[in-house]
Chain A
Amino acid sequence: MTSLPQSTDKKLGLVIDLDTCVGCQACATSCKEWNTGGYSAPLSDIQPYGVDPQGTWLNRIHSYEIGEGSTSRTVHFPRSCLHCETPACVTVCPTGASYKRAEDGIVLVNPDTCIGCKLCSWACPYGAREYDYAEGVMRKCTLCVDRIYNEHIPEEDRIPACVRACPTGARHYGDLGDSESKVSKLVAERGGYALLPEMDYKPVNRYLPPRPRRDSNTASSDTPRPAEKPVSTGAAIERLFKFADKILSR
């Protein structure tokens, strides 16, 4: 059913910290590895060793340069499905293969009923859906629905593969519908934002902006530098040491 649920019990999603992401691609690789054997299996590759390799990935990491000259900075920007609250990718689907789960808000494609018309990918402003040319169906991030509820894997692994893989802790997973959850608090504290809110798809995922720049010019204003020489207090013991230093230095 491609009509959207009125509301969802939970709003499971990701919070991505652009301040700590180092663009290592570990999340993308881990996502591909898990999902090519998971709910969306397979994520086909075409000519993986040829001159024009291409494949289906559910997570893409861009790197942007922002600003000019010495004040410019590089920001790595992971891009995947934002599990929107009102996603047009779901409502345009003619078959009901695309749907949003009422229990946790995850947006999924049923690979057994998708006809591969690609209209959902046209409707997504975020480029989150990738067509699998070999299988003829659309693929997208499943928020690792086959991990997060999976009682056959250790509890610490019951989070999306990308979150598990991130070496800098830049990816956080949780219920963004619960204002008391860790991720919601993180978003509130760091000024997390949604992408293209004017599109009115109401993304669930949030991005945490890079923190203010710190370099040789700005760092000194943060913490006072220690004095170069200790200040003499003129105590008796200090005078004794000074005298000893003088004698010994001869």
Chain B
Amino acid sequence: MHPAYSVILFTTMSGAGYGLLIWLSALGLAGALPPTRTLGFFAFGLAFALIGGGLMSSTAHLGRPERAWRAFSQWRSSWLSREGVLAVASFVPAGLLAINWIFYESFSPALAWATIALSLATVYATGMIYQSLPTIRAWHNPLVTPIYLVLAIATGGVIALFFLRAAELQAARPSLVAIAMLLAAAALKWSYWTGIDSAQRTYTAGAATGLGQFGKVRMLISPHSTANYVMREMGYSVGRRHANKLRRTALWVGLIAPALLTALSLYAPAGTEIALALLAVAAMAFGIITERWLFFAEAEHVVNVYYGAEAA
């Protein structure tokens, strides 16, 4: 699949934004983060900037962005529509939570729970947009949505830790949770890659044309002399050698390095924790964008078997 930058940015940024909202709510509920004005302003500000920036970026993917409001209407059948509805709905408790936090320096557990629930639901819907497509084997995989959820929480956690460090708050237990989420994401991603590599590719040109009964089907003449939309959008594929290199980048830079840096910050001399936390955020951002690029570039669409691909 063609890795569109608008969609890569949208899913990574809004994922981290919802993850951060989940962490702010959870830390507030755990009493680990007092509702102070400055911290609230920057932390909620960043969360809303990530989500808003992601949503803005996603409209860049649309041919008719001015009609985007119509996408809220088909939540009965469409995961994309559900995601839009949930994304907007989550702004209600999250926005009220932020207003309470920043302007009144008070914390509402009910709003925090609602923020957590709707944020999780939004990320779940994002994952389901991909997982529900039977045409793309690498996406029609039960690990896709759990990975989206765990990655959102892990990336939000690394950013939340930076705010804890910046506010010079106790971060030992949140750090352990974040490390656990990062390692869980790494394990899930690893098993996802192993799974898609060993998956049987049952769709062939013979099966897709119904002509396999007469022998091996080979493309003789393409319907068009230059790539059409279907080829441009669905025909993108990344070489196996590059994919392996990028997988290692995503795993080591995006997940394991932030986990190590977070662990290190627990034992680092005072004053250096914030630098380590910032480094963890930077490494994670680079690695997760690589991971998301690969999520698209590695995914093979079944339509390619009509265009000469061996199997999909």
Spell out A's residues near B (CB within 8 Å).
1-4, 18, 23, 28, 52-57, 60-68, 71-75, 77, 79, 88, 90-97, 113-119, 121-127, 130-133, 135-137, 193, 195-196, 198-200, 207, 209-210
Contacts and interface: CB of A to CB of B under 8 A. Distances in A.
Given A53-B226, A62-B306, A115 B71 contact: yes
A132 B63 CA distance: 9
Contacts of B228: 54-55, 57, 60, 130
B218 interface: yes
Contact of A115 (B62, B207, B209, B307): B62
B78 A137 contact: no
Contacts of B84: 94
B215 A137 contact: no
Interface in B64-90: 64-65, 67-68, 70-74, 76-81, 84
Q: Which of A90, A115, A123 has the most CB of B within 10 A?
A: A115
A91 to B, nearest CB: 4
B211 A135 contact: no
A134 B47 CA distance: 35
Which applies to chain B's interface (DSSP): helix, strand, loop or mixed? mixed
B230 A121 contact: yes
Interface residues of B, number: 60
A68 B229 contact: no
B214 interface: yes
Given A62-B306, A64-B205, A64-B211, A116 B219 contact: no
A135 B74 CA distance: 23
Dominant secondary structure at the A interface: loop
Contacts of B218: 64-66
Given A113-B70, A117-B80, A127-B303, A67 B229 contact: no
Most A CB within 10 A of own CB, among B209, B226, B302: B209
Among A55, A127, A198, A199: residue with most chain B CB under 10 A: A127
Given A18-B211, A209-B211, 7 more contacts: A54-B232, A66-B215, A94-B72, A95-B81, A119-B80, A121-B233, A127-B307
B220 A63 contact: yes
A176 B74 CA distance: 29
B229 A66 contact: no
A94 B223 contact: no
A116 B64 contact: yes
Contact of A54 (B1, B203, B213, B229): B229
B227 A93 contact: no
Contacts of B196: none
A95 B136 contact: no
B186 interface: no
Interface stretch (B111-119, B126-134, B167-175, B271-279): B126-134
Nearest to B303: A127
Interface string B208-242: 11110111111111111111111011100000000
Given A195-B209, A195-B210, A196-B208, A115 B68 contact: yes
Contact of A2 (B78, B205, B207, B211): B78
B247 interface: no
Contacts of A79: 223, 306
B61 interface: yes
A63 B209 CA distance: 11
A199 B211 contact: no
A127 to B, nearest CB: 4
A238 to B, nearest CB: 51
A95 B74 contact: yes
Contacts of A137: 63-64
B301 interface: yes
B141 interface: no
A181 B240 CA distance: 50
